[in-house]
Amino acid sequence: MATTVDVPARDAARTPARPLRARRLGTLLLLLALVGAAALASIAVGTRSIGLGDVWGSLLDSALTTDDAVVVRQLRVPRTALGLMVGLALGLAGALMQGHTRNPLGDPGLLGVTAGASLAVVLAISLLGLTSPAGYVWFAFAGALAGTVLVYAIGSAGRGGATPLTLALAGAALSALMYALVRAILVSDQQTLDSFRFWVVGSLAGRGADVAWQVAPFIAVGVVLALVNAPALNLLGLGEDVARGLGQRIWLARAVGLAAITLLAGAATAACGPIAFVGLVVPHVVRALTGPDHRWLLPGSALLGAALLLAADVIGRIVARPAELQVGIVLALIGAPFFIALVRRRKAAGL
């Protein structure tokens, strides 16, 4: 069969294994450095100008009780930690989702996470009168979980079980249905819309350390599940039949992956509201750097997600001083043009 020239094989022949590995390692280290820089900037920069020396001092000396020290320790550090976790979770969930649905349009929201969380938050606002982001967390999380379970149940109900296609379509249809309910409430209830419109843009503002602690355990479990899922995801990428032939238990791999996506994206959405851009775009960028191997793609996406979210948050604090631009908006408005430039320059790596 002279016609079946395998593209990966050709690439492998051109670039020996060692340099590729070194490049991937270098990429991860570079991303790690970016995360570090973004985290530092996030602690150092804010509406209130605090000198770098004071920032450093208040981090080291926990007895310091000047206003500056309190701002750094009580506001900026928790916010940075939350941004780090949420970015990590969203990048990871996006890479997992695109791997499992094998669709470049697969963002974690497609699994019903965002729609479920939105519906739960809208219900919480309109029925229970909640108005604070911290109050939404558990509702959003429960909604995200319920949404995913429903999508998975329906997506795997047909003959042939949960294929990438049925999952994606079930997710799209169920999301449509849940958004219809959200809209039905919002068009007739102005008060709820007034609170909801600030949640739905996605922001790190106003979420304290308590929110960070609430979602941290879920994200930790999700990260472990995601990394465990990487080798299986590589096999699934060859097609379910091949994967099964190589001894992979399909349902187990899918279940672990979907559980990870639910925990990661659900916790992130619960904490900050829906931020679609990270999950959609980050995996594409990282795939262009590391290639399609999920053992590299997943950590890379996590790191780039964290760096991007923190950087966007910092920019959002600077551009509209003394007000803030929400991180979800900054991400899309600044990140999207970069992404388009990247897509046009490189030949995008397929899934």
Partner 1 sequence: MSVAAPVHAPEAQAPPVRSGRVVRLGRVSGVVRWRDLAVPLVALIALVLVSAVSMGRGDFPIGVVDVLRTLAGLGEGPQEFIVLELRAPRVVVGVLVGLALGMAGALFQTFARNPLASPDTLGITTGASAGAVAAIVLSGGTSAGAVLGGLGIPLAALLGALTTGFLLFLLTWRAGIDGYRLVLVGIALWAMGTALTDWLLTNAEIYDAASAYVWITGSLNARTWDDALPLALALVVLLPAALATSRLLAVLQFGDDTARGLGVRLAPTQTAVVLLAVGLVAFAVSAAGPIAFVSLIVPQIAVRLTGGARPPLLASGLLGALLVVGADLVTRTVLPEALPVGILTAAIGAPYLLWLLVRGRRRFT
Q: Segment contacting partner 1 (CB under 8 A): 31-39, 85-93, 235-243, 254-262?
A: 235-243
Enter the tokens of residue 326.
């929400």
For the chain, the first-to-last Cα distance in angstroms comes to 25
Q: Segment contacting partner 1 (CB under 8 A): 38-46, 65-73, 117-125, 157-165?
A: 157-165
In the window 276-335, what residues touch partner 1 (CB under 8 A)? 276-277, 280-281, 284, 325-326, 328-329, 331-333, 335
| 320 vs 285: CA distance, rounded Å | 28
- Would you say 185 or 221 has its CB closer to partner 1? 185
**Distance of closest approach, residue 6 Cβ to partner 1, in angstroms:** 14
**Distance of closest approach, residue 300 Cβ to partner 1, in angstroms:** 18
> Are 205 and 326 contacting, i.e. CB atoms less than 8 angstroms apart?
yes
Binding string, residues 97-126; x marks residues near partner 1 by CB under 8 A: ----xxxxxx---x----------------
- Would you say 18 or 345 has its CB closer to partner 1? 345
3-state secondary structure 207-269: CCHHHHHHHHHHHHHHHHHHHHHHHHHHHHCCCHHHHHHCCCCHHHHHHHHHHHHHHHHHHHH
> Are 87 and 278 contacting, i.e. CB atoms less than 8 angstroms apart?
yes
Give the CA distances from residue 232 to residues 108, 220, 246, 251, in Å, rounded to whole numbers and listed in that order.
Answer: 19, 20, 10, 11
134 makes contact with partner 1 (CB under 8 A): no
Binding string, residues 13-52; x marks residues near partner 1 by CB under 8 A: ----------------------------------------
Listed residue (242, 260, 241) closest to 161, CA to CA: 241
Phi/psi zone of residue 244: left (φ > 0), alpha (ψ -120 to 50 degrees), beta? Answer: alpha
In the window 55-94, what residues touch partner 1 (CB under 8 A)? none
In the window 166-195, what residues touch partner 1 (CB under 8 A)? 166, 168-170, 172-174, 176-177, 179-181, 183-184, 186-188, 190, 193-194
DSSP reduced 3-state for 67:
helix
> Are 117 and 144 contacting, i.e. CB atoms less than 8 angstroms apart?
yes
Enter the tokens of residue 24.
């991937």
**Distance of closest approach, residue 286 Cβ to partner 1, in angstroms:** 14
198 makes contact with partner 1 (CB under 8 A): yes
Enter the tokens of residue 106.
């697969």
127 makes contact with partner 1 (CB under 8 A): no
CB-count exposure of residue 217 (10 Å: 0-12, 13-18, 19+): exposed
- Would you say 154 or 235 has its CB closer to partner 1? 154
* One residue of 43, 119, 154, 309 binding partner 1 per CB under 8 A: 154
* One residue of 16, 159, 247, 322 binding partner 1 per CB under 8 A: 159
| 155 vs 79: CA distance, rounded Å | 37
DSSP reduced 3-state for 314:
helix
- Would you say 69 or 96 has its CB closer to partner 1? 96
DSSP reduced 3-state for 58:
helix
Q: Segment contacting partner 1 (CB under 8 A): 45-53, 60-68, 248-256, 337-345?
A: 337-345
- Would you say 102 or 209 has its CB closer to partner 1? 102
- Would you say 95 or 331 has its CB closer to partner 1? 331
- Would you say 20 or 339 has its CB closer to partner 1? 339
- Residue partners of 229: CB distance under 8 A and separation at least 6: 96, 253, 256, 257, 260, 294, 298
Residue ranges that bind partner 1, judged by CB under 8 A: 101-106, 110, 154-155, 157-160, 163-166, 168-170, 172-174, 176-177, 179-181, 183-184, 186-188, 190, 193-194, 197-198, 200-201, 239-241, 276-277, 280-281, 284, 325-326, 328-329, 331-333, 335-337, 339-340, 343-344, 348, 350-351
